[in-house]
Structures are given as structure tokens and as C-alpha cells.
């Protein structure tokens, strides 16, 4: 179900469950499907593990002080899962803009755990696919920024190489 929400029908049809997300991503890159290749990475691990990796990759970019603070808070949340910090990160992400890799990562974190409503209201929980979907958005934004003046495919190749290294080469 999650694959269908993150991938194009063509990529979904060719996705091989026996292969790792990285292997599927490499196959998709051959045909230039960089966005689906990134979706394969998101689907390969838990959202929390992908978030940790995304914030590592974001530090390749020049970040302003508010973005650096948000990254630091995301890293802290990954260790503590503090509810107050989760809500603070959402506000920081909103101020940075969900159209930035750090803002998208912050929104993904907010959707990973807990209610979206303040404590004084009845709890409303996000759909399970929203956090991975926003992580996918963060990776697409990051690919475009890492590629600079090149096609986003170049940024995705950079991210795939980093993923492969972090996963221990397999």
C-alpha cells in the first residue's frame, strides 16, 4: 500500500520486493526515474531511520541558524522522542517552510508520532503514509539543491552513493 502512494505506477510495477531499496533505486536510475529511486530508499527503512539519514545529508547544504537549530532539535528528538520538542520542531519547520529539506523533514517528524492537535483537543492522528511521503519530498528537494545547476538526477546519484556508504555497502 505504501509503495503505491510513493511511486509512479511504472516504478511500482517493476519494484522487486526481494531486492533492497538501494538495488531497486539503482534499477530505476537506469531509466532516469530519480524520484522513484528516492522513494525506494524511503521504503527501505523505518521512517525514523530515514529521517536520521536525511538530516545527515541536509548538513551538506549551507544552512542558516534557524535551519541548523531545527536539525539539532531533530537529532535530539531522535534520541528522546520528547513530545514538547516534537511540537517545537513542527513550528520551526513551518517557519522554515515545508518547501525546504529541513522544513519537510521537520513536518515528517511531526507526522511520525502523536496527535496533530494540541493537548486540549481530541487527538487527531495523521495517516501512516504521510511521514514517508514528506521524507520523500525532503529527499527530492535535497536532490535538486545538491545537483545545483545540473539535473536532479545528479543530486540523486550523490544521495544514492551516500546511502550505500551508510548502509555498509550492501
Question: Can you give the pTM of this predicted structure?
Answer: 0.94
Look at residue 36 and tell me if it is in a domain: no
Tens-digit pLDDT profile for residues 54-87: 999 999 899 999 999 999 999 999 999 999 999 9
Indicate left, alpha or beta for 151 from its phi (over 0: left) and psi (-120 to 50: alpha).
beta
Q: State the residue for C-alpha cell 513536518.
A: 107
- Whether residue 8 is contained in a domain is answered as no
For residue 76, tell me if it sits in a domain: yes
pLDDT score recorded for residue 128: 93
- Residue by residue, DSSP assigns 98-135 as TTSHHHHHHHHHHHHSS-SS-TTS------TTHHHHHH
Reported as a single tens digit per residue, the pLDDT across 6-56 is 999 999 999 998 999 999 999 999 999 999 999 999 999 999 999 999 999
Q: Rounded mean pLDDT of the chain?
A: 94
68 is a domain residue = yes
Instruction: Tell whether the model's pLDDT for residue 170 goes beyond 60.
Output: no
Asked if the structure places residue 34 within a domain, the reply is no
**Residue-range definition of the domain harbouring residue 118:** 47-134
The secondary element (H helix, E strand) that includes residue 164 is helix 152-166
Q: Let me know if residue 14 belongs to a domain.
A: no
Q: Percent of the chain having pLDDT more than 70?
A: 98
- C-alpha pair distances (Å), 138 with each of 47, 58, 63: 12, 9, 15
> How many of the other CB atoms lie within 10 Å of CB of 30?
8
The structural domain count of the chain equals 1
Residue 100 in any domain: the answer is yes
Amino acid at each position: 500500500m505504501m509503495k503505491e502512494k510513493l511511486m509512479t505506477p511504472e516504478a511500482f510495477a517493476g519494484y522487486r520486493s526481494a531486492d533492497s531499496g538501494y538495488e531497486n533505486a539503482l534499477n530505476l536510475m537506469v531509466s532516469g526515474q530519480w524520484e522513484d529511486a528516492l522513494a525506494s530508499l524511503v521504503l527501505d527503512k523505518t521512517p525514523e531511520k530515514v529521517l536520521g539519514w536525511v538530516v545527515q545529508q541536509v548538513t551538506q547544504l549551507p544552512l542558516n541558524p534557524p535551519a541548523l537549530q531545527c536539525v539539532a532539535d531533530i537529532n535530539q528528538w531522535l534520541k528522546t522522542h520528547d513530545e514538547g520538542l516534537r511540537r517545537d520542531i513542527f513550528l520551526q519547520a513551518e517557519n522554515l517552510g515545508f518547501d525546504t529539506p529541513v522544513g519537510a523533514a521537520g513536518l515528517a517528524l511531526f507526522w511520525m508520532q502523536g496527535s496533530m492537535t494540541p493537548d486540549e483537543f481530541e487527538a487527531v492522528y495523521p495517516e501512516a503514509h504521510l511521514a514517508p511521503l514528506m521524507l520523500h519530498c525532503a529527499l527530492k528537494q535535497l536532490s535538486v539543491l545538491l545537483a545545483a545547476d545540473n539535473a536532479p538526477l545528479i543530486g540523486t546519484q550523490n544521495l544514492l552513493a551516500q546511502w550505500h556508504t551508510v548502509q555498509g555497502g550492501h
